[in-house]
Amino acid sequence: MSKPWVTSRSAYVSEMFAAIADRYDVMNFVMTMGQDQRWRRDAVEVANVGPGDRVVDVATGTGDLAFELASRVAPKGHVIGVDFSEPMLHLARQKSAGRHLPVSFLVGNAQELEFSDNSFAAATCGFGLRNLDDRLRGIREMARVVAPGRRVVILELTPPANLLARHYMDHVIPRLGQVLARARDAYTYLPESVSEFPDAPTLGAMMQSAGLRGVTYRYLNFGTVALHWGTKPE
Ligand SMILES: C[S@@+](CC[C@H](N)C(=O)[O-])C[C@H]1O[C@@H](n2cnc3c(N)ncnc32)[C@H](O)[C@@H]1O
């Protein structure tokens, strides 16, 4: 089977998320049996941020991780969610309307963040890194924009060792995608992109090579999700 994302993952991914934006949240809820918000809360926990902090959430999509962060830094802090998909950001802005949280959403590329060095108390990325053409560059960008002593947090699917989890990802998710989101291709891309994504130790090593220190990770959901964090040296 040909893999159209091999030549340009960004072009493929951008078109894909534009097509599925309005079904993205529901699919997350169904695929993860409602667990995804808990994993985002775990990511916020390790981001180590508090009231008054300024945080960037990269590849923010429909904003769920940004909202969790914003509730943590409110009322005087601020969260900026960055994504290159306008349709995903449109939903994020709609969702933010009634929430009264200190969050804003900007169009931008994770591989070329338009922020100064050392300007955030944390940089997070939830289920976004896998979709970048140059993942090391994406991690370096997050490391560049966080202040010394502060954290980069990556929440991402990870290749599962467990056979049942692999079966669920490879066969059940594409079927759910077809039935619920009418987007079998997008939800076939998902397990394929996970299977070729670095395993948790390798991603940890990439974060080290991007200059982060004290890199730590934890598996969630029977080893299908990994939560990594590392600190920018003082
Ligand atoms: C699976 S969604 C994750 C959304 C959200 N972070 C969450 O936790 O649900 C991946 C997002 O990454 C965005 N994305 C992929 N590559 C990107 C890039 N190079 N720059 C900015 N956003 C990107 C997509 O547009 C999409 O909204």
Answer yes or no: is 182 within a domain: no
User: What does the angle CA 24 – CA 9 – CA 115 come to, to the nearest 5 degrees?
Assistant: 80
- The pLDDT of residue 5: 61
What is the tens place of the pLDDT at every residue in 111-124?
Answer: 999 999 999 999 99
Residue owning tokens 């529901």? 26
Answer yes or no: is 140 within a domain: yes
Answer yes or no: is 227 within a domain: yes
Q: Would the CB of 88 count as within 6 Å of ligand 1? A: yes
**CATH number of the domain to which 118 belongs:** 3.40.50.150
Q: Would the CB of 61 count as within 6 Å of ligand 1? A: yes
- The pLDDT of residue 203: 98
From atom 8 of ligand 1, which residue's Cα is the shortest distance away? 126
CA 3 – CA 181 distance, rounded (Å): 20
Atom number, ligand 1, closest to the C-alpha of residue 110:
20
Q: What range defines the domain where residue 13 resides?
A: 9-159+198-231
Answer yes or no: is 188 within a domain: no
DSSP secondary structure string for all residues of the chain = ---TTTT-HHHHHHHHHHHHHHHHHHHHHHHTTT-HHHHHHHHHHHHT--TT-EEEEET-TTSHHHHHHHHHHTTT-EEEEEES-HHHHHHHHHHHTTT--SEEEEE-BTTB--S-TT-EEEEEEES-GGG-SSHHHHHHHHHHHEEEEEEEEEEEE----SHHHHHIIIIIHHHHHHHHSS-TTHHHHHHHHHHTSPPHHHHHHHHHHTT-EEEEEEEETTTTEEEEEEE---
Residue 6 has pLDDT above 80, yes or no: no
Answer yes or no: is 193 within a domain: no
Q: Would the CB of 131 count as within 6 Å of ligand 1? A: yes
Answer yes or no: is 1 within a domain: no
Token digits of residue 147:
């202040």
Answer yes or no: is 39 within a domain: yes
Answer yes or no: is 181 within a domain: no
Place 1 in a pLDDT band, splitting at 50, 70 and 90: very low
- The pLDDT of residue 186: 85
What is the tens place of the pLDDT at every residue in 38-95?
Answer: 999 999 999 999 999 999 999 999 999 999 999 999 999 999 999 999 999 999 999 9
Number of domains in the chain: 1
Q: What is the mean pLDDT of the chain?
A: 94
Atom number, ligand 1, closest to the C-alpha of residue 66:
6
